[in-house]
């Protein structure tokens, strides 16, 4: 049954060739989000392994991680922590820089978003290189949080981001894989 659900979910993803540049196939989850049944199945599948366990916060990476993470937090009756690009949060923040293909970027969260010992699930739509997710893990751990898992709808395993997180000791849950970049 679970495998059939994930096939149906995979079919709800729109693939856009040569976006944002030639040779890249963009995996667009907005089609999944706009379909009530697919959206519900995705959230339920992300929540299932953690239902009934102790989760203190769900942290979502800007921007699609906000949509999915908020829904996951609601289902688990936990708080939600937005992880944003630098300069977007109004209160005192803690930030973490990370490498991009050409240059660097920074993410941040409020200084009081998590407490030492909080059990946190990290959520985003897709894991590719793992740069942003790795920075988010390091940021949350630096604040004393325990990362229970990192959850994504889509994994691009050839790029290696999920393995990068596993190498940091973070369990990774994905609902589907796509080949390529």
State the catalytic residues.
64, 101
Q: How far apart are CA 125 and CA 96, in angstroms?
A: 20
Residue written as token pair 């339920």:
44
> What single string gives the DSSP state of each residue in the chain?
-HHHHHHHHHHT-EEEET-SSTT-EEEETHHHHHSHHHHHHHHHHHHGGGTTS---EEEEETTHHHHHHHHHHHHHT-EEEEEEETT--SS-EEEEEEEETTEEEEEEEETTSS-TT-EEEEEEEEESS-HHHHHHHHHHHHTT-EEEEEEEEEE-GGG-HHHHHHHTT--EEEEEE-S--
The CA distances from residue 100 to 56, 103, 123, 129, 131, in Å, are 30, 5, 20, 9, 7
């Amino acid at each position: 049954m679970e495998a059939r659900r994930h096939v149906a979910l995979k079919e709800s993803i729109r693939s856009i060739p040569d976006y944002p540049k030639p040779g890249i196939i963009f995996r667009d989850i907005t089609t999944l989000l706009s379909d009530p049944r697919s959206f519900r199945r995705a959230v339920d599948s992300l929540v299932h392994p953690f239902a009934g366990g102790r989760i203190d916060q769900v942290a979502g990476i800007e921007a699609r991680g906000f949509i999915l993470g908020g829904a996951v937090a609601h289902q688990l009756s936990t708080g939600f922590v937005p992880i944003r690009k630098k300069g977007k949060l109004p209160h005192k923040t803690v930030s973490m820089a990370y490498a991009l293909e050409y240059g660097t970027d920074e993410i941040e969260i409020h200084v009081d978003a998590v407490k030492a010992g909080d059990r946190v699930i990290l959520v985003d739509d897709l894991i590719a290189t793992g740069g942003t997710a790795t920075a988010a893990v390091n940021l949350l751990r630096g604040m004393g949080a325990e990362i229970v898992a990192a959850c994504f709808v889509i994994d691009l395993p050839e790029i290696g981001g999920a393995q990068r997180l596993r190498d940091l000791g973070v369990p990774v849950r994905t609902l589907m894989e796509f080949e390529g970049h």
